[in-house]
């Protein structure tokens, strides 16, 4: 059994990560750290885990006692954690924050659909952002084949869990329910990692990536609508995407219209490609807490450990 530890265990992504790991056949959780919840039962905070685990939060941790560590604290806290703690040379690390997504400090960017070989060889991994995952999966086949010819336009909507567990003015029920709003238009932080990956795959690409994020009145999921000019026919585009994702464990190309309920509660990503005049339109859907966070982290863990990539991730979608 692989022994793992979790730093920052009280948030939404940590809750989903715990749910996956306690049911993972090759993993044993050694500790779940949370200073504010130390001593409390994990199921007191993550109510969906009642009857699933007797684990309790701890205010201490022993990094030498685990093979792999998940960092689930807020953005900026991962770098602070390593400033305060020596990093064991053999410890594998998966950071779910944005601190190392620039691949600094020896971290590899953990998007399996583009970096699987590097992920298998690394001991330091930076898990991608949720919007970044959905949007990159919509564009990877084009960039990998040098086919991004003009600026890219994106509108994507996310569920309320994307804002984190801490209540805020735009997350409480009475505001979010029956409501929709734009935020961080053209300035969302995930644009940095999106542009970096596209440039890596297609160095000549220099056009704008225009991203308008939106808050939805649902709990989880990301629905991304992406379009750009293209000379491909509809048939060529579909074939291009199917070929690119032929060996992907969790990314699938659909030939019919897609919706969020096909992926919510799963680690799947589904993309749909269509042609309208000279515009190629790509729709991409994921669960922001799973393929956009904790599920992808477990997928990356499996790859890093040489396990079956799908192990512990056979989840049923909330289709109805």
How many domains are contained in the chain? Answer: 2
Instruction: Give the pairing of strands 209-215 and 181-182.
Output: antiparallel
93, 130, 238, 297: the catalytic one is 130
Say how many C-beta atoms besides its own lie within 10 A of residue 154's C-beta: 24
Structural domain for 18, as ranges: 2-127+293-305
Question: Looking at the domain assignment, is residue 253 inside a domain?
Answer: yes
Asked if residue 139 and residue 50 are part of one domain, the reply reads no
pLDDT tens-digit map of 30-68: 999 998 899 999 999 999 999 999 999 999 999 999 999
Global pTM reads: 0.96
Question: Looking at the domain assignment, is residue 317 inside a domain?
Answer: no
Asked if residue 144 and residue 267 are part of one domain, the reply reads yes
pLDDT exceeds 80 at position 13: yes
Answer whether 105's CB lies under 8 Å from 124's CB.
Answer: yes
What is the strand order of the sheet 2-7 is part of? Answer: 27-33, 2-7, 68-71, 92-95, 124-126, 108-109
What is the reported pLDDT for 175? 87
Instruction: Give the pairing of strands 222-229 and 152-158.
Output: antiparallel
Asked if residue 197 and residue 118 are part of one domain, the reply reads no
Decide if 130 is catalytic.
yes
Strand partners, 29: 4
Q: What is the CATH number of the domain that holds 85?
A: 3.40.50.720
Cα–Cα distance, 191 to 200 (Å, whole number): 14
Asked if residue 74 and residue 187 are part of one domain, the reply reads no
Asked if residue 121 and residue 148 are part of one domain, the reply reads no
Answer whether 252's CB lies under 8 Å from 271's CB.
Answer: yes
pLDDT tens-digit map of 178-214: 999 999 999 999 999 999 999 999 999 999 999 999 9
């Amino acid at each position: 059994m692989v022994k793992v530890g979790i730093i920052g265990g009280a948030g939404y992504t940590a809750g989903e990560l715990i749910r996956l790991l306690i049911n993972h056949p090759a993993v044993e959780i050694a500790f779940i750290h949370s200073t504010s919840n130390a001593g409390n039962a994990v199921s007191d905070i993550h109510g969906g885990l009642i009857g699933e685990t007797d684990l309790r939060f701890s205010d201490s941790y022993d990094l030498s006692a685990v093979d792999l560590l998940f960092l689930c604290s807020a953005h900026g806290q991962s770098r602070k954690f390593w400033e305060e703690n020596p990093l064991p040379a053999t410890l594998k690390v998966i950071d779910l924050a944005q601190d190392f997504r620039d691949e600094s400090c020896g971290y590899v960017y953990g998007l399996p659909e583009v970096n699987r070989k590097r992920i298998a060889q690394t001991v330091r991994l930076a898990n991608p952002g949720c919007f970044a995952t959905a949007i990159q999966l919509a564009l990877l086949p084009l960039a990998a084949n040098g086919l991004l010819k003009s600026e890219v336009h994106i509108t994507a909507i996310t569920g309320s869990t994307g804002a984190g567990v801490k209540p805020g003015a735009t997350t409480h029920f009475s505001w979010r329910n029956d409501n929709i709003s734009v935020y961080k238009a053209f300035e969302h932080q995930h644009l940095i990692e999106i542009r970096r990956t596209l440039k890596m795959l297609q160095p000549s690409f220099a056009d704008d990536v225009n991203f308008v994020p939106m808050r939805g009145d649902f709990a989880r999921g990301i629905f991304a609508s992406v379009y750009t000019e293209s000379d491909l026919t509809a048939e060529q585009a579909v074939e291009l995407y199917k070929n690119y994702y032929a060996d992907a464990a969790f990314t699938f190309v659909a030939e019919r219209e897609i919706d969020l309920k096909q992926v919510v509660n799963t680690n799947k990503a589904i993309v749909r490609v269509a042609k309208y005049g000279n515009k190629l339109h790509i729709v991409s859907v994921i669960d922001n807490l799973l393929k956009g966070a904790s599920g992808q982290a477990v997928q990356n863990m499996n790859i890093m450990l040489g396990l079956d990539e799908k192990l512990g991730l056979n989840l049923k979608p909330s289709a109805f």
